[in-house]
Amino acid sequence: MSKYKTILVLLIAVLLELFLRLDFKNASLILMELRVPRLILAFSIGSALALSGSVMQTVLNNPLAEPYTLGIASGAALGAAVFNSFGFHIGLFGLNAGAVIGAVLVLILILRVIMKNDLRFDSVILLGVMISMFCSSLLAIWMALADPHGVQTITFWLLGDLSRVGLKTAIALFVVSISFFAYFQMFSKKLDGFLFGEAMVEGFGVSKKDTQKIAVILVSILVGFCVSAAGMIGFVGLMVPHLVRKKMGTSIHSKILPYVFVWGGIALVLSDAVAHAVSYPLELPVGAITALIGAPVFIYLFIYRKFSRGSET
Partner 1 sequence: MISLRKIIVKSANGKILVREASMELEPKKVIGVYGPNGSGKTSFLKAIAWKNQNLNISGESWIDGNPIFLSSTSASIKAKKILYLGSDFQSAFQVSVRELMELAKNANPDSIESIAEIIERFDISSLINRIFDEMSDGEKQRVMIARGVLQSPKWLILDETFSKIDLDHSFHLVSSLRESIKKGMGIIIASHDLNLLSELSDELWFIKDGKITTSGTVEQVLTSENLNELYPNRMVHVVRSPDNGKKKVIY
Hey, which residues between 43 and 62 contact partner 1 (CB under 8 A)? Answer: 57-58, 61-62
Question: Which of 37, 63, 237, 265 is the binder for partner 1 (CB under 8 A)?
Answer: 63
Question: Which of 15, 21, 88, 118 is the binder for partner 1 (CB under 8 A)?
Answer: 118
CB–CB of 220/100 below 8 Å?
yes
Rounded CA separation 168/37 (Å): 8
Q: Is 203 a residue that touches partner 1 (CB under 8 A)?
A: yes
Hey, which residues between 183 and 202 contact partner 1 (CB under 8 A)? Answer: 189, 192-193, 195-202
Hey, which residues between 215 and 274 contact partner 1 (CB under 8 A)? Answer: 245-246, 249-252
CA angle 195, 198, 202 (to 5 degrees): 90
CB of residue 53 vs partner 1: minimum separation in angstroms?
13
CB of residue 201 vs partner 1: minimum separation in angstroms?
8
CB of residue 251 vs partner 1: minimum separation in angstroms?
4
Q: Which amino acid is at 194?
A: F
Of 134-142, 148-156, 174-182, 206-214, which part binds partner 1 (CB under 8 A)?
206-214
Rounded CA separation 171/179 (Å): 12
In b/e form, how buried is each residue of 29-40, taking b as 16+ CB within 10 angstroms? Answer: eeeeebbebbbb
Binding mask 133-172 for partner 1 (x = CB under 8 A): ----------------------------------------
Question: Which of 3, 117, 207, 280 is the binder for partner 1 (CB under 8 A)?
Answer: 207
Q: Calculate Rg over the CA atoms of the chain.
A: 19
Please say which residue, 120 or 164, places its beta carbon nearer to partner 1. Answer: 120
Q: Is 114 a residue that touches partner 1 (CB under 8 A)?
A: no
Size of the site for partner 1 (CB under 8 A): 35
Exposure on the CB side of residue 183, measured as CA atoms within 13 A: 17
Q: Is 69 a residue that touches partner 1 (CB under 8 A)?
A: no
Nearby residues of 149 by Cβ (< 8 Å), 6 or more positions away: none
Q: Which amino acid is at 120?
A: R
**Closest residue by Cα to residue 157 from 178, 132, 127, 175:** 132
CB of residue 58 vs partner 1: minimum separation in angstroms?
8
Please say which residue, 65 or 154, places its beta carbon nearer to partner 1. Answer: 65
Please say which residue, 171 or 248, places its beta carbon nearer to partner 1. Answer: 248
Rounded CA separation 224/222 (Å): 5
**Closest residue by Cα to residue 170 from 32, 55, 13:** 32
Rounded CA separation 161/286 (Å): 6
Q: Site residues (CB under 8 A) for partner 1?
A: 57-58, 61-63, 118, 189, 192-193, 195-208, 245-246, 249-252, 305-310
